[in-house]
Amino acid sequence: MNTPLANDTFLRALRREPTAYTPIWLMRQAGRYLPEYNATRARAGSFLALCKTPELACEVTLQPLERFPLDAAILFSDILTVPDAMGLGLYFAEGEGPRFERPVRDEAAVMRLAAPDPAAELRYVTDAVRTIRAVLAGRVPLIGFSGSPWTLACYMVEGGGSADFRQVKTMLYRRPDLLARILEVNADAVAAYLNAQVEAGAQALMIFDSWGGALADGAYQQFSLAPMRRVLAALARERDEPLLDAAGRIVGTHKVRVPVIVFTKGGGLWLEDIAGIGCDAIGVDWTVNLARARERVGDRCAIQGNLDPMVLMAEPAQVRAEAVKVLDSFGAPRGGAGHVFNLGHGISQFTPPESVAALVEAVHDHSRRQRRNEASASSL
Amino acid sequence: MNTPLANDTFLRALRREPTAYTPIWLMRQAGRYLPEYNATRARAGSFLALCKTPELACEVTLQPLERFPLDAAILFSDILTVPDAMGLGLYFAEGEGPRFERPVRDEAAVMRLAAPDPAAELRYVTDAVRTIRAVLAGRVPLIGFSGSPWTLACYMVEGGGSADFRQVKTMLYRRPDLLARILEVNADAVAAYLNAQVEAGAQALMIFDSWGGALADGAYQQFSLAPMRRVLAALARERDEPLLDAAGRIVGTHKVRVPVIVFTKGGGLWLEDIAGIGCDAIGVDWTVNLARARERVGDRCAIQGNLDPMVLMAEPAQVRAEAVKVLDSFGAPRGGAGHVFNLGHGISQFTPPESVAALVEAVHDHSRRQRRNEASASSL
């Protein structure tokens, strides 16, 4: 915990400070496209066992960093740990997505909901954070995360994934009071969960609003954005980190801001709204033009994104060309802008690992070149 | 074919002419939420048989108009008739979406593709259009439609629906030349198909770009928008309609513009681009704020949309309230604006028909009220 960071490029970009290059990490970077991940998962017996065993969660968190010079690690976990800890009974049916044994469908079920104590039911997550920080030993920062209150509510009410969100939207339009109650409990639960992750060592946070984009304009602001604002307001935004002297020796601690990224998939129309809820960065998917996003968001937030993960199905030369397009569309990050390169969605299990190698290299190389060109242009 | 229209409100709104109220129709208005539709479908034996039997397609097209005072009819058909006519072998597996027996996966399959002759392989569609026009007898206009070249390509390459569009996007990023060839054939096929529908009697056209929103910014413009522009450029945009004298007697024919609606689901970020390809109206989903859409599109196009179909799961009073919100967000259509009320996606099979009744009534009533208020405000 006391090791200073060897590479803080990711945190600097989120704080919109100058960086030598554009940092990159990938959603689901520890995942099924890596043979070593599949081996650890097989050892664990199941995906949930992997999430709930801190040593194994740590092992898979580190795996992509051994292969690729990524600029951040992200806690290996599932976005549904919180409703699972509420007693809804998370399970994964073979070949299907997540399901809950006891979905929240009626008033009685809503009234029974309570925010879990992260120190008890979610202890395995904070244990994993502590273990990962120790093993990372300051190589790169560790990101903690949670699903957004609305996204958790989707799974809790639907009882699993959904194509049309019929159950949760029926509740939204028929009984908005019940949905509001769920979102209140979720917001408090998510805030406590994220604070526990920071206390355990998470150096940045990301809120995955995977299903915010399924909401109508107006409904999004009320049922997804407002609960996220509530979460952000309840977060401890600082943590103690080692303070170094000129020789790199630890001479004490100082308060460091814990930046928070909010990612509403399909939320490209609402960037101005998202920028107003107090997050440090906005995640954007590949439908968003980064130049326009940067104009719209201004210097209020950094931007994270937004390569289509399917680009990684192409040959390395094409992967590089598409990475350059994304970097060029953002442009050189000057004047208080910040860019973190990422995909616009989780990496596909069918991704060839050599595509990821080509991507990371292209992002680092081209973004250094952008800064050099910028510097030589401004020195003319 | 010679009967003048009793209700041309829909066409007037698309042409951005003044209307007494905001016209409404619903995507998939002839569908499984109607018991009479399910009865006809059972008689037909299958969904495809229903599409391919003009009398039955006509029967279900008219069914929603018997129940609700909708302002347009839409040809009952499937968006995949065109690739089916190319010989890919469309079928519907029980409880699943559409599938193709022979997906287009390699260069040889791409090179074999050719635009079908609408007068031969798609004769059942133009026959249905003629039958429906005769039975409609001028009550409301009839909309013809097609899938967009990109949306058809998705199904053709994937072989069916897809969550991640891996096959078609792999082609896009690895072999853009092959995808370009498919899109060229599709654009020509769609144009010929839509022209045949107009010749048979379709009075307006809609292009369903259901999967345009799955594309990255940049890729959308190249692989979905450009082929749609090619379709629009190849469309006969006028048809002969009866010319009436002051007493309502037919005294000849005159040329009438056939308006075209382009609907990219998830395309809210690209409205300005869509407005530039020569369509008369833009369909928008529920994530789009209509006031902002109207600002962005200006007087270049009318706008169609955008109620979340899940609103129809609520009680009639709530349906009415949400319909009013949509109308108020657009505002009174003055100064060359045009609004056609619709859902932002097809109606759900679980919709109670009484919700549709409440919706249509609310849209007609409230939009008349908007115009009255507008008139009395401007006479002050």
- Cβ contacts of B120 within 8 Å, gap of 6 or more: none
Listing DSSP states for B337-353 in one string gives: --EEEEESSPPPTT--H
Residues in A closer than 8 angstroms to B287, CB to CB, are 213, 215-217, 220, 266, 269
Q: What is the mean pLDDT of residues B149-174?
A: 97
**Does the annotation count B41 as an active-site position?**
yes
pLDDT tens for B330-341 read 998 776 789 999
Q: What is the mean pLDDT of residues A347-361?
A: 98
Distance from A88 to chain B by nearest Cα, in Å?
25
ipTM: 0.95
Looking at chain A, how many residues does it have?
380
Tell whether A354 is within 8 A of chain B (Cβ).
Answer: no
DSSP state of A94: T
Q: Which two tokens stand for residue A148?
A: 């957004």
Residues in A closer than 8 angstroms to B268, CB to CB, are 268-269
Chain A / chain B CB contacts < 8 angstroms: 107
Distance from A28 to chain B by nearest Cα, in Å?
15
Mutate which of B157, B167, B173, B221 to test chain A, going by most A C-beta atoms within 10 A? B173
Contact indicator for A76, A128 with CB cutoff of 8 Å: yes
pLDDT tens for A163-220 read 999 999 999 999 999 999 999 999 999 999 999 999 999 999 999 999 999 999 999 9
**Does the annotation count A41 as an active-site position?**
yes
**Which residue in the block uniquely carries the two structure tokens 């992200």?**
A74
pLDDT tens for B53-74 read 999 999 999 999 999 999 999 9
Contact indicator for B38, B32 with CB cutoff of 8 Å: yes
CB atoms within 10 A of CB A284: 25
**Does the annotation count A181 as an active-site position?**
no
Beta bridge partners of A208: A147, A263
Asked if B174 lies within 8 A of A308 by C-beta distance, the reply is no
Tell whether A268 is within 8 A of chain B (Cβ).
Answer: yes
Contact indicator for A89, A16 with CB cutoff of 8 Å: no
Tell whether B173 is within 8 A of chain A (Cβ).
Answer: yes
pLDDT at B248: 79
pLDDT at A36: 98
Asked if B313 lies within 8 A of A213 by C-beta distance, the reply is no
DSSP percent split of chain A into helix, strand, coil, nearest 5: 50, 15, 35
Residues in B closer than 8 angstroms to A173, CB to CB, are 310-311, 313-314, 318, 322
Q: Residue B258 to residues A52, A215, A272, B4, B319: CA-CA distances in angstroms?
A: 61, 33, 38, 15, 32
Quickly count helices (H) and strands (E) in chain B. 16, 11
Asked if B266 lies within 8 A of A269 by C-beta distance, the reply is no
With a pLDDT cut of 70, the percent of chain A lying above it is 99
d(CA B346, CA B28): 5
Instruction: Give the closest of A216, A269, A322 to B308, CB-based.
Output: A216
Distance from B214 to chain A by nearest Cα, in Å?
8
Confidence of residue B96 (pLDDT cuts 50, 70, 90): confident
Q: What is the mean pLDDT of residues B133-162?
A: 97
pLDDT tens for A212-254 read 999 999 999 999 999 999 999 999 899 888 888 888 788 988 9
Type and span of the H or E element at A13: helix A9-14
Measured in degrees and rounded to the nearest 5, phi and psi for residue A2 equal: -95, 0
Residue B332 φ/ψ region, left for φ over 0, alpha for ψ in the -120 to 50 degree band, beta for the rest: beta
DSSP state of A90: E
Contact indicator for A157, A214 with CB cutoff of 8 Å: no
pLDDT at B66: 98
Confidence of residue A146 (pLDDT cuts 50, 70, 90): very high
pLDDT at A96: 80
pLDDT tens for A296-345 read 999 999 999 999 999 999 999 999 999 999 999 999 877 678 999 999 99
d(CA B109, CA A164): 34
Residues in A closer than 8 angstroms to B325, CB to CB, are 218
Least Cα distance to A150 among A105, A101, A186 occurs for A186
d(CA B111, CA A353): 32
pLDDT at A41: 97
Contact indicator for B82, B156 with CB cutoff of 8 Å: no
d(CA A214, CA A163): 10
Active-site residue identified among B12, B15, B16, B41: B41
Instruction: Give the closest of A216, A311, A315 to B286, CB-based.
Output: A216
Distance from B163 to chain A by nearest Cα, in Å?
10
d(CA B238, CA B42): 38
Return the exposure string of A116-134: e unless at least 16 CB atoms fall within 10 Å of the residue's CB, then b.
Answer: bebeebbbebbbbbbbbbe
Mutate which of B158, B288, B294, B308 to test chain A, going by most A C-beta atoms within 10 A? B308
pLDDT at A375: 82
Tell whether A165 is within 8 A of chain B (Cβ).
Answer: yes
Asked if A350 lies within 8 A of B166 by C-beta distance, the reply is yes
Asked if A313 lies within 8 A of B173 by C-beta distance, the reply is yes
Confidence of residue B1 (pLDDT cuts 50, 70, 90): low
pLDDT at A273: 98
Asked if A287 lies within 8 A of B216 by C-beta distance, the reply is yes
Helix-helix angle A166-174:A149-158, to 10 degrees = 110
Instruction: Give the closest of A166, A215, A288 to B269, CB-based.
Output: A288
Least Cα distance to B304 among B15, B7, B14 occurs for B14
Tell whether A180 is within 8 A of chain B (Cβ).
Answer: no
Q: What is the mean pLDDT of residues A12-30?
A: 97
**Does the annotation count B71 as an active-site position?**
no
Contact indicator for B14, B22 with CB cutoff of 8 Å: no
Q: What is the mean pLDDT of residues A140-146?
A: 98
Tell whether B217 is within 8 A of chain A (Cβ).
Answer: yes
With a pLDDT cut of 90, the percent of chain B lying above it is 89
pLDDT at B71: 98
Residues in A closer than 8 angstroms to B308, CB to CB, are 169, 215-216, 219
Q: What is the mean pLDDT of residues B132-141?
A: 97
Helix-helix angle B176-200:B166-174, to 10 degrees = 120
**Does the annotation count A78 as an active-site position?**
yes
pLDDT tens for B10-42 read 999 999 999 999 999 999 999 999 999 999 999
pLDDT tens for B288-330 read 999 999 999 999 999 999 999 999 999 999 999 999 999 999 9
Listing DSSP states for B266-286 in one string gives: T-GGGHHHHHTTT-SEEE--T
pLDDT tens for B102-126 read 999 999 999 999 999 999 999 999 9
